[in-house]
Structure 1
Amino acid sequence: MTSKANVVFNVLLVFVTIVLGNVLKLRFRPINNEITRSLRYQRDSLLNFTESRELYGYSSEEHNVLTEDGYILTIFRINGRNCAHKLKRTPVLLMHGFLQSSDTWLDAGPKAGLAYLISDACFDLWVGNDRGNYYSRRHNRLDPDKDPKFWKFSVDEIGFYDIPATLEYILKYTKEDKLNYIGYSQGAGTFFVMCSERPGYCAKANVFIGLAPATRLTNTKSVPFKILIEGLGHLEEDLATIGIYELFAKGSLSQEFLSLLCKFSATSELLCGTGVSLVDSFHQGSITNETLRVLFDHFPAGTSVHNIARYGQSIRSSHFQKFDYGSAQNFNIYGTKQPPHYNLSAVTVPSVVLYGNNDNLVDTKDILWLIKRLPNMLEIKRVSDPLWNHFDSAYSQFTKDLIFPTINKYLLKYSRK
């Protein structure tokens, strides 16, 4: 029988391979669909967002959002089954977390994926994508494969440009004055950046629902996450000298290798499930083997080295603050030697926060630190399952019972037919 030590060693070996593959930016031709079918891949893992929705009888629309600084973001509007004449008019925007994409909300399948659950409740659901992931790797002037400037962004720019542009597009398209916002991890933190930096935009939301919202990460327990993020963050300038500005892109050698490894039931739970537990925390049976076999074809979805460096700073700082360029450059950019703190008191929208007691990425201490600074809290809910961790909010098979009722309650309260 394989010992626990051997399993951990194998997972760490895979982890190192993933890092090296991304840092070296090695790419190869993705395995074609004929081969993947012969290998009995999960059908969902071969599909993009629109194809996944259609597979289960849902319809969707694809929209392009242009930000003020020229990034082109792909977002999706989803129609629930049997909702043709029952659609609630207040739109809902669902935003993914760090290194994710809109596909995150489909990977757990129709019985648990939040995109399915929300749209089946007949809400007008829109699902966003941040700059730099594989759905939003475009710009009206810059070529992401040739122009380093494309990758000079972090959560600071995502919050300042992407979230406001997405809100504006949805409200203009639907002819509504306000929407309801659900942000997971980074998707919550970037909403707070917007509220702090863009006066008036926070008032465009009726309600904010935060799932494990990420601001500062001072108390993060995950050793692999700390090592990876802080290590790569310190290497930002070194990586730039050899032309590396993007990491964890879909199609990189490591992403394709991880996708292949996790496709097979014999390895997906043993290695990929254990890997998820090592990065976050252990919660046996919460993320099913079927979901593991799908999600690693969509995760990681790619981001900038600069954004990864920003997360490294979040671990080292006790504040929710802008990018720290060093005292001299800070003074040139901000007018102060220290990076300014984001003004969380500007998040005046009625707010709901759901979090898990077993989250090793966004620790409960950092959640409670945040909650004390939000001025208009409606509800603070710790998920009843004591093992609920960070990845559970996106991928758990128990989402429908443990977090969707709270989400549904507040979406109903702030929606109209």
Structure 2
Amino acid sequence: MLLSVCGLQVRMPDLMTVALLTWCYRLAHSTTASSMAAVNDADLYLTSLIAKYEYPVQTHSVQTADGYILELHRIPHGTSGPANWTRPAVLMHHALLCSSFDWVGLGPERSLGFILADAGYDVWLANARGNTYSRKHVSLDPSEPRFWEYSWHEMGTYDIPAEIDYILQSTGHSKLYYIGHSMGTTMFFVMTSQRPEYNQKIHAMIALAPVAVFTRTKNPVIHFIQSLFRVAGLHEFLPQNTALNPFSIAACKHTRWTSRLCLAFIFLIVGRSTQTDKERLPVLLAHTPAGASTREVMHFAQGALSGEFRQFDFGEKKNMEEYGQATPPKYNLSLVTSPVALYYSDNDRLAPVKNVNKTCSSFPNVIHRFRVPFRMFNHLDFIWGKDANTLVYSDVITVMKKYENDVRTAHKLT
């Protein structure tokens, strides 16, 4: 008996035919139920993904003092418990090239945004100016170079204060919790050192892979990147779903092999890890990178070259105009008086332990230090790690609940 197997004519019965049939079946059904769900999630807008998992979701717009319009995504409560219960608010800020999506991209059981909502918090997921969700301004358009004339300094001095004030006004609270990952921590340290009055509006700050102190380097690649940006006249870096984002479009989304190459490139930057969920990777890469200004990248590069946590270096002449001195002013971390909890790991190339230790010594009010008990945990694993919920998030919630109880006890005593 002749059968067509994957386009070939073969005779039955035949052990080789059975093997071919088995191989063809597996090839045709290689998309498992979980990976199919991942593919579907990859096509969803953030609010649609949150709603898919039956969580309430809201979209809010916040205008900064310098005219940028930021999009906030809110999960006011979890899937159980009374909706009208007054819940502590928590503002969550993403890393460089990321967005609010990264807090929910692994789904309800493993994403910190969902986990906090189920733990009794009113969750607000922020988007820094210029990323996928925050590309509006009262008078400027993203096609104009002036739109991109900012770094994480402006995000710290304008974006976060505007978001905090909006959330507190919306909820009636006097304080909120803040959780930042990587650049999300950098922005917070800028805000509380430049606008120290905002320390009083923070219950506690959770710093995941904190970045403030830099290790000085003479890496020529960093010099090359800065020169390339200047010569090419690039203002926007790796925006989502455009020809300017070959990293996301060409390298990461097409096949299993290119996805692996993309993952290898990511590991080269942040450190290798066994925590990446390859089934969920297409979802994460469908929304990341989310875009940034080239000045954000250059500001981090300047920190690496100088070894200093300081404002943007425009060059001696413009520095004199902007700051009244030839070199940029340093951020005074002793002014960061908010209660700070630091979470870090041994395999983090962007926030190495020695830098975190130095950062920690600069803060006057460190309430908790947590070294992730897994040697291979890297910089991205704080949001993309498949076991981050048990390795990190459970401790985060314990600290927040304990601190919340301590605050209530102190209020009763007074």
> TM-score when scaled to structure 1?
0.84
Confirm whether residue 245 of structure 1 aligns to residue 238 of structure 2.
Answer: no
Confirm whether residue 271 of structure 1 aligns to residue 264 of structure 2.
Answer: no
Residue aligning to 1:83: 81
Corresponding residue to 2:378 among 389, 399, 415? 389
What is the SS of the residue equivalent to 1:200?
A: helix
Confirm whether residue 234 of structure 1 aligns to residue 227 of structure 2.
Answer: yes
Residue aligning to 1:405: 394
What is the SS of the residue equivalent to 1:207?
A: strand
CA distance in 2 between counterparts of 1:260 and 1:331 reads 43
CA distance in 2 between counterparts of 1:58 and 1:72 reads 25
Contact 1:132 1:304 in 2 (8 A): yes
The RMSD of aligned alpha carbons is 2.2
How far the C-alpha of 1:190 sits from its partner, in A, is 0.5
CA distance in 2 between counterparts of 1:121 and 1:298 reads 26
State how 1:116-135 maps to structure 2 within 5 Å.
116-135=114-133
Confirm whether residue 313 of structure 1 aligns to residue 302 of structure 2.
Answer: yes
Which letter does structure 1 place at the counterpart of 2:260?
Answer: L
**Larger relative contact order (C-alpha < 8 A, sep ≥ 6)?**
1
CA distance in 2 between counterparts of 1:107 and 1:219 reads 33
Corresponding residue to 2:213 among 211, 216, 219? 216
Contact 1:265 1:293 in 2 (8 A): no
Higher mean C-alpha deviation, range 176-185 or range 194-203? 194-203
Corresponding residue to 1:187 among 184, 191, 207? 184
CA distance in 1 between counterparts of 2:171 and 2:177 reads 13
The CA deviation string for residues 290-310 of structure 1, in whole angstroms up to 9 with x for no partner, is 221111111111111111111
How far the C-alpha of 1:86 sits from its partner, in A, is 7.6
The CA deviation string for residues 161-213 of structure 1, in whole angstroms up to 9 with x for no partner, is 00100101000000110000001100011001011111311210010110001
Confirm whether residue 151 of structure 1 aligns to residue 144 of structure 2.
Answer: no
How far the C-alpha of 1:97 sits from its partner, in A, is 0.5
Which letter does structure 2 place at the counterpart of 1:234?
Answer: S
Gaps of 5+ in 1: 1-38
CA distance in 2 between counterparts of 1:169 and 1:372 reads 32
The CA deviation string for residues 267-322 of structure 1, in whole angstroms up to 9 with x for no partner, is 266323322212211112x1111221111111111111111111110111222100
How far the C-alpha of 1:390 sits from its partner, in A, is 0.2
What is the SS of the residue equivalent to 1:89?
A: coil
CA distance in 1 between counterparts of 2:366 and 2:329 reads 24
Which letter does structure 2 place at the counterpart of 1:279?
Answer: I
Identity value in percent: 35
Residue aligning to 1:95: 93
Residue aligning to 1:283: 273
> TM-score when scaled to structure 2?
0.84
CA distance in 2 between counterparts of 1:176 and 1:70 reads 25
Residue aligning to 1:337: 326
Corresponding residue to 1:293 among 268, 282, 288? 282
CA distance in 2 between counterparts of 1:76 and 1:153 reads 23
Contact 2:90 2:122 in 1 (8 A): yes
CA distance in 1 between counterparts of 2:108 and 2:223 reads 36
Contact 1:219 1:363 in 2 (8 A): no
How many residue pairs get aligned? The number is 370
Corresponding residue to 1:160 among 157, 161, 175? 157
Which letter does structure 2 place at the counterpart of 1:117?
Answer: I
Contact 2:253 2:259 in 1 (8 A): no
Q: 1:197 to 1:274 in 2, by over 3 A?
A: same
- Larger Rg, first or second structure (1 or 2): 2
Q: 1:374 to 1:301 in 2, by over 3 A?
A: same
Residue aligning to 1:60: 57
CA distance in 1 between counterparts of 2:254 and 2:193 reads 45
Contact 2:208 2:382 in 1 (8 A): yes
What is the SS of the residue equivalent to 2:364?
A: coil
Which letter does structure 2 place at the counterpart of 1:382?
Answer: R
